[in-house]
Structure 1
Amino acid sequence: MTLDAQGTNATDRAGLNGQAPRCDHIDQFSAVEYGPPECKECLALGRTWTRLLVCLTCGWVACSDNSQGGHARAHYQETDHPVVTTLETRSTWRWCYVHRRTV
């Protein structure tokens, strides 16, 4: 058995083939209705965005860190809603701000 820094069994949380431990945050949300495909903060400031992300906890849509505003991260910092996805069609990409990695 392999223990982590907190003394819990790290083997139980491990992913397949030595992948990073599973992110439990992805199990915490149900289906949410996404907001309109725009970053309201950028629109108010007259800015454009490079990529839009949607909060999987509440459906809030905001610009990514690649954009001038980085409003999706600001939403996480204000709300502690941990996981976002992209609005791109058929994408399975998700980012967990808590673990700072894709999940």
Structure 2
Amino acid sequence: MTGVDQHIKPDVPPSGPGCVECEQSGSWWLHLRRCTFCGHIGCCDDSLNTHATKHAHATGHQVICSYEPDEVWFWDYATVTMFDGPTLHAPLSHPRSQTVPGPRERVPADWQRLLGA
């Protein structure tokens, strides 16, 4: 393997339908990202906790992809580039029934203000 290929394991399933750390802490997220090496699902940089980026920095797993329905893109933190990647182990996104932001029952009424939107 060369380049980003060594950072992508297509057969590894995602860790679940939501951000691992937000689920543990009872927090919420705006959008979700998937680590292409270990399957860890983390919240995006526009979320309060930026767990996807924190995971990448803590582990050295440098490639993520979107975990949003109908979004197909990969991001390499090391080269700061977006690219097309291989098809990964299903599911390829959180359930369509899951709200954005989500999960619905934990999203505060003033979520846009909290995110500076």
TM-score (ref. length: structure 2): 0.62
Where does residue 81 of structure 2 map in the other structure?
101
Letter in 2 for 1:30: K
What value does the CA root-mean-square deviation take over the aligned residues? 1.6
Letter in 2 for 1:59: G
1:46–1:94: structure 2 CA closer, same or farther, 3 Å change rule? Answer: same
For 1:30 and 1:62, the matched residues in 2 are separated by 17
* Count of aligned pairs between the two proteins: 80
- For structure 1, the 5+ residue unaligned runs are 1-22
Where does residue 8 of structure 1 map in the other structure?
none
For 1:42 and 1:89, the matched residues in 2 are separated by 19
Letter in 1 for 2:3: D
For 2:31 and 2:17, the matched residues in 1 are separated by 10
Query: What's the CA shift for 1:89?
Result: 3.0
For 1:30 and 1:59, the matched residues in 2 are separated by 9
Q: Which has the higher contact order (CA 8 A, sep 6+)?
A: 2
| SS across alignment from 1:49 | coil
* Higher CA-based Rg: 1
Report matched runs for 1:73-92 at 5 Å.
73-92=53-72
1:99–1:43: structure 2 CA closer, same or farther, 3 Å change rule? Answer: same
Letter in 2 for 1:78: A
Report matched runs for 1:23-102 at 5 Å.
24-25=3-4, 27-28=5-6, 29-31=8-10, 32-102=12-82
Report the identity percentage: 32
- For structure 2, the 5+ residue unaligned runs are 84-117
